[in-house]
Chain A
Amino acid sequence: MIETMQGTAEPVIGIDDLSFNWSAGLDPLLEIEQLEIQAGEKLFIEGPSGSGKSTLLNLLAGVLVPQRGEVRILGKKMTTTGSADRDRFRADHIGVIFQMFNLIPYLSVTENVTLPCRFSKKKYNKITERGEEPAGEAHRLLRALSLADPELIRRPVTDLSVGQQQRVAAARALIGAPDIVIADEPTSSLDAGHREAFIKLLFQECEQAGTTLVFVSHDGSLSRFFDRSLPLQKINKASTPFAAMEACES
C-alpha cells in the first residue's frame, strides 16, 4: 500500500495499448490505451451489459489474450504466456465471483469453497503452511462472511438463498488469499440491504489478505464504496454496438 502511494511499484494489473476482437476482420470490441491497478486497490469498473465487461474480465484473468497490446498481471505478460500456464497462473493468483449461480450444484458448501485448493497447489500450501486445513479455512471464511450456522453449511448448495450463495462464492474466491479477486456483478441478484453488507464483508476480507479487488457492475450507485471508479466507456476507445445504441437513446 505504501509503495502504491509512492507510485513506484509495479502495478498488480497493467494494460498497455490493448485491442481485442472476437475474430479478425471485426471491429475491435475493446481498445484500452492504459490501465493500471495497484496492489491492495479496490477498483470499481462501471459498464452496462454488452459493453465488453465480461471480455475485459476474461482478459484480466488470462482466459483470453488480446490481438494487440499487453496485459501484465503481477508482472507476468499474459500475451506471451501459453494457455496452460495462464490457467495455472489464474488458479494460483486469482479468485472469481460471478453474478449468480456461482456454485457447483453437486458439491457441498465446504467442497465448493475448498475447490480452488484442488486446482492450485499454491493456494493449498498457503493454508497448510499456517497449520490449517482447507476445510477449516473455508469455515473461517464462511464465518467471517456471516455464514457460521453449521446447519446451513450441511445443506445442499441449491437450497441456499441467493445472498447465501453469493457469500459462499466470495469465500471460494478468497480462499488461499489470492492476489486478485475479480467480481463480475456479484451483487446484482441481491437486494439493496444485502448488497451493501456483502460489499463490506468482501472489502473486509480483501483488506485482511491484502487482495486487490476488481469489481465490475452496471450499477453506478455502488461506486461510492470504492477507492477508485472507472466507467468502462471512458477507458474503452472502441465504439461498441451497445455504446452506439445508448448514444442513440440518450
Chain B
Amino acid sequence: MTAIFTLALKSLLNRRATAGLTVVSIALSVTLLLGVERIRTEAQDSFTSTISGTDLIIGARSSPVQLLLYSVFRIGSASNNISWESYQEIAAQPAIEWTIPISLGDSHKGYRVMGTTADYFTHFRYGRKQRLEFDRGLPFADLYDAVLGAEVATQLAYAVGDPLIIAHGAGEVSFVEHGDKPFVVAGVLKPTGTPVDRTIHVSLEGIEAIHIDWQSGMPAQGQTVSPEQTRTMDLSPRQITAFLVKLSSPMATFGVQRFVNEYRQEPLSAILPGVALQQLWEITGVAEKALLAVSSFVVVVGMLGMLTALLTSLNERRREMAILRSIGARPLHIFILIIGEAMAITLLGIGLGILLLYGLLMLAKPLVLSMFGFYLTIGPINAYEALLLGIIFLAGTTIGIVPGWRIYRYSLADGMTVRI
C-alpha cells in the first residue's frame, strides 16, 4: 500500500504544474471560507460584547434598535430627550442598583461628545464584564475636563492637558462651535474595541455649561456668558438623552421595563441591550450569511476544479494503469492511487489554506485594530473550523471516487492491454 501512496505522490510531483494550481485553488477557497468564518465570529463577538453588565437602556420612545444605535454605538440621534425629573424619578425606583445618564448631541472633529457622570467610569462594563481603565490621566474632575477614548487620543494626537473645542451637532464638519468654552484633556482611556474608543466624555454639567447661553440650537445674540461666570450658575442638567440601568436583581427586569414603557409624564422606552444587540445582529446577519454561502460555493468550485484536473488526466494515464496492472497491481490499487491523489491534493490545499489564513490574519491584525478598532484574536483552529476542514477533506476524498471509479472500470476492461 505504501508503494501506491509513493506512486500517487510521485505522479502528483510529475504533474506539479496542474496539481499545484489545483492545490492553490483549493487553498484559496479554504482561506476564504475560514477567513469569512473567523471575521464573522470575531465581528459578532466584538459586536455583542459592546456593552455588558447593563440590564436596561432607557430613552425616548423609539424602536429598540434605534435606541441601541444612538446610546451605545453613537450612530444616528435620539428622536427626543428625557427630562431630568423623569430620570430622577425612575432612577429612584427601589429595584435599581445604579444608573448612568448620558447626554449626546455634540461632537469634536467627527467624534461624538458624551456627557455623563463619573459613575460611568466605575459602573460601565463591556466585553466580559471588563471595566474601563485609564491609560493616562484621571476621570473628569473640573467642569471643563474631558476624557478621551483611545482612538480619539491616537487619531487626533492629544495628550493630557491639551485643549479642545466642542462643536455643536454631530457632523464631521460643524460650523457652530462652542469656541468660547474650551475643554482640557484630563484623561485617556485604554482601548476597548468598542465605540467607547471613539467617544469624548465630559460631565453633564459641562454639556449644560456650553449650552447655557444658547437658544434653539444657536448662540443667543448679544448675551454671552464667560466660562468663569458659568461656574457660579446652576448647572443641574435639564434633560438627558438616555440612561443605562443596572438592577439589583434580574427578576425586576420586566417590572421596571413595564414601569418605564407605561410612564405617564413622557413617552419612554426601556430595552434589554442583549435582545436589541441580537436584533441588530440579525439585520446585519443576512449579509454575513450570504458571505458564508458565497465562500462555501468557492470551496465547491475549487473541488470541481480538482475533479476536472483528475478526470482529464485519466485518459493519458490509462497506459500507466496498464503497466501497473502488468506488474501485478490490482484494480483496487489503481482506484486507491487516484483517490490517494485526490486526498493528497485536498490535504495540501487545506494545509496551504491554513498557512495563508494565518499569514493574512497576522497582516490584517494591526490594520483591523487601527481601522475598525477591533482586536483580532489569532487563536488556533477551533472545533467548528476543524469540522469545516474535515468536511472539505471528506468532500475531496469523495470527489476522488468519481475518477477513481472510472479508472477502476478502465483497468478492468483494459487489463494490461495498453490503449493509446
Contact = CB atoms under 8 A, between A and B. Distances in A.
Interface in A87-127: 87-88, 90-92, 94, 96, 98-99, 101-107, 111, 115-116, 118-120
18 contacts: A57-B417, A58-B417, A61-B326, A61-B415, A63-B325, A83-B331, A87-B325, A90-B328, A91-B328, A98-B323, A98-B326, A99-B418, A101-B418, A104-B324, A111-B10, A115-B3, A119-B327, A120-B328
Contacts of B7: 104, 107
Interface residues of B, number: 26
A96 B326 contact: yes
Contacts of A63: 325, 415-416
A96 B10 contact: no
Contacts of A172: 327
Contacts of B330: 83-84, 87
B11 interface: yes
A116 B418 contact: no
A67 interface: no
Nearest to A111: B10
Given A104-B320, A107-B10, A96 B327 contact: yes
Given A98-B416, A104-B320, 19 more contacts: A54-B417, A58-B417, A61-B416, A63-B325, A83-B330, A87-B328, A90-B328, A91-B329, A101-B418, A104-B323, A105-B14, A106-B10, A106-B11, A107-B7, A115-B3, A115-B327, A118-B3, A119-B3, A120-B328
Interface in B82-96: none
A101 B319 contact: yes
A31 to B, nearest CB: 19
B418 A96 contact: no
A64 interface: yes
Contacts of A120: 328
B391 interface: no
Interface of A: 54, 57-58, 61, 63-64, 83-84, 87-88, 90-92, 94, 96, 98-99, 101-107, 111, 115-116, 118-120, 172
Nearest to A102: B323
Interface in B3-35: 3, 6-7, 10-11, 13-15
A112 to B, nearest CB: 9
A94 B326 CA distance: 8
A111 B324 CA distance: 13
Contacts of B14: 105-106
A104 B321 CA distance: 9
A191 to B, nearest CB: 21
Contacts of B331: 83
Interface in B318-350: 319-320, 322-332
B37 to A, nearest CB: 37
A116 B319 contact: no
A84 B331 CA distance: 9
A64 B415 contact: yes
Looking at B324, B327, B330, the one whose CB has the most chain A CB atoms below 10 A away is B327
A60 B77 CA distance: 89
A172 B323 CA distance: 11
Given A90-B328, A107-B10, A116-B328, A96 B319 contact: no
B90 to A, nearest CB: 79
